[in-house]
Structure 1
Amino acid sequence: MITQQSPFRLDGKSVLITGAGGGIGRSLVRVFHEAGAEVIGADREAGALEGLPLADTILFDQADAKATRATINAYISAHGAPDAVVANAGFTRAEHLDQVDDDVWASEMAINLNGAYALTDPIVAAMAIRGKGALVFISSVNAIAHYGNPAYSAAKAGLVAYAKAIAVERGGQGVRANVVAPGSVRTPAWDHRLEADPSVLDNVLPHYPLGRMVDPVEVANAAVFLCSDAASGITGALLPVDAGLTAGNLRFVDEVLRGK
């Protein structure tokens, strides 16, 4: 009897995940590995990738666009393009507009947008020649509406526009590009905030209709779906994984209409 493989599986597929050693990145690696993918983990330092189930590793600093492109070109020359890419690496200082200057703006753009372009541009070209490939950009709800972090927000919005460009102009060559936009994700990055102020979530969670932050595995599950054949007809899409934050203003409903 012939059994058909689930379209949600990624058995035999190679997937490059950047920022693989971070809070979301480690969940991405684990979930893609569990889906059958051969995961190529990328980060700045080898130590960040220790203990992860990786088929291969690539080291580069995405803030350096030239070095990033050179490293990826060398990898493609040696191994070919991966079947899928999850462009996850990013960074923000959690600033507001009064704290932004030219240096802050440039540094946020360097890693979050320019570096992501340098990473994926040669891969997209190789995928187009091959006739197939999938990309997922990990953006943010900050690309949809303003929640602070102005420079980061602009860069993450740029990823959405870039993904749509790939979807439109490379779709004919079989390349798909989609975006996942997480809200607040409960990663170790929150630990120092909670240690400094254990009540900080009292101000955060009322904004989220699900009443909680998103778990990193929920972001990873969305990325796996978009890279899989189950999403073969989806390209140029933006998928919020945000516990309902961008669906509407729960706090306004509660405080103004319900009078809580």
Structure 2
Amino acid sequence: MVSRPKFEGRAKFEGRAEFEGKTVVVTGAGGGLGTAIVTLMAQRGARVIGCDQSSEALKSPHLASRHVFDLLDRATIDAAIGAILDSDGVPDILINNAGWTRAETLSALTSDKIEQELNLNLTGVMTFADPLVKAMAGSGSGSVVFISSVNAIAHFGNPAYAAAKAGINAYAKAIAVELGRSGLRANVVCPGSIRTAAWDHRLAKDPEILGKLQRLYPLGRIVNASEVAEAVAFLASDRASGVTGVVMPVDAGLTAGCLPFIDDILGA
């Protein structure tokens, strides 16, 4: 029988105590959201293992260990898995954050772009996560958090990326159902738009685009990276010990309903 975490008062979940003694692997650790996740987990006591596609992306002083690999290169993924397990041990928490997209509409798709985006955002993620997930289950405990997207819930463009992220949602539920008895939890965070470097190419085309986004979001703004990182930390922590297989939007209300329909049609 899997033992349940013991709750020893609120102080256990405040400040550095929350993840004290925990090893956390974060992919895409050098990106905008990855940096926020790494910083938050380290501030709360975790030993953070950063993974990204270049050593230049892994300069954060909050990282205790660094591993470079490419989600499109199976050989580097396999090498990184071995290095993580050998040098850092089986992680307590795995945060699969890395992802990328550029084919924004169906008209932009080609066979090469479909293959690239599916391989990067689904096949590569699963290939990296699978051995670590099984090792965590073998150790009898652990928490996995996947960063997906609102694109996996409703269509907001980026069709190949959206299909890959929908696959990630399904994969997380498979882990939750099949490995829950081994003490492993798996959950998903689906962010809405976040102002990171991923928006730079859109801003280059239309400097006013972020302002246009506001009317789509019930909160009147997009979310920031620290808000998404807080949701990730919650799902990774013992505070969420009874939560598994959940797909959580962190999207300022975007997927709750269509605000422009209310304003433009019903309010007209």
Aligned to 2:3: none
> What is residue 251 of structure 2 aligned with on the other side?
242
Question: Hey, what's the Cα distance between the residues in 2 that align with 1:145 and 1:4?
Answer: 37
**Segment of structure 1 superposing worse, 229-238 or 97-106:** 97-106
Cα distance in 1, alignment partners of residues 258 and 67 from structure 2: 41
- 2:29 is the counterpart of 1:23: no
Q: Which of 91, 96, 102 is the aligned partner of 2:105?
A: 96
For 1:127, the equivalent position in structure 2 comes to: 136
Corresponding residue for 1:63? 72
Question: 1:233 is paired with a residue of what secondary structure?
Answer: coil
CA deviation profile, 1:90-120 (whole Å, cap 9, x unmatched): 0000420111121111100111001110111
> 1:77 and 1:178, CA in 2 relative to 1: closer, same or farther beyond 3 A?
same
Aligned mates of 2:87, 2:155 — CA distance in 1: 42
The match for 2:194 is 185
Q: CA separation in 2, counterparts of 1:221 and 1:60?
A: 26
Q: Shift of residue 182 of structure 1?
A: 0.3
Whether the 8 Å contact between 1:65 and 1:114 is mirrored in structure 2 is: no
Alignment size in residue pairs: 258
8 Å CA contact 1:61, 1:68 repeated in 2: yes
Aligned twin of 1:173: 182
- The residue aligned with 2:4 is none
Kindly indicate whether residue 170 of structure 2 is the aligned counterpart of residue 164 of structure 1. no
TM, length-normalised to structure 1: 0.95
**Shift of the alpha carbon at 1:70?**
3.2
TM-score by length of 2: 0.92
Instruction: Find the counterpart in structure 2 of residue 228 from structure 1.
Output: 237
The answer to whether the 8 A contact 1:38-1:55 is kept is yes
Instruction: Give 3-state SS (helix, strand or coil) of 2:98's partner.
Output: coil
- Correspondence list, 1:5-24, <5 A: 5-7=11-13, 9-24=18-33
Report deviation, 1:205.
1.4
Question: What secondary structure, in the 3-state scheme, does the structure 1 residue paired with 2:19 have?
Answer: coil
Partner of 1:148: 157
Q: Is the 8 A contact 1:166 1:176 kept in 2?
A: yes
* Code of the aligned partner of 1:88: N
Cα shift readout 1:7-40 (whole Å, capped 9, x = no counterpart): 4611110100000000111101111111111110
Within 5 Å, give how 1:208-227 maps onto structure 2: 208-227=217-236
Deviations 1:25-56 (A, max 9, x none): 11011111111111101001111111331111
Match of 1:76 in 2: 85
1:202 aligns with 2:211: yes
Counterparts of 1:102 and 1:66 in 2: how far apart (Å)?
23
SS of alignment partner, residue 219 of structure 1: helix
**Percent same amino acid among aligned pairs?**
52
Contact preservation (8 Å) 1:69, 1:122: no
Aligned Cα root-mean-square deviation (Å): 1.6
**Secondary structure class of the residue paired with 1:55:** strand
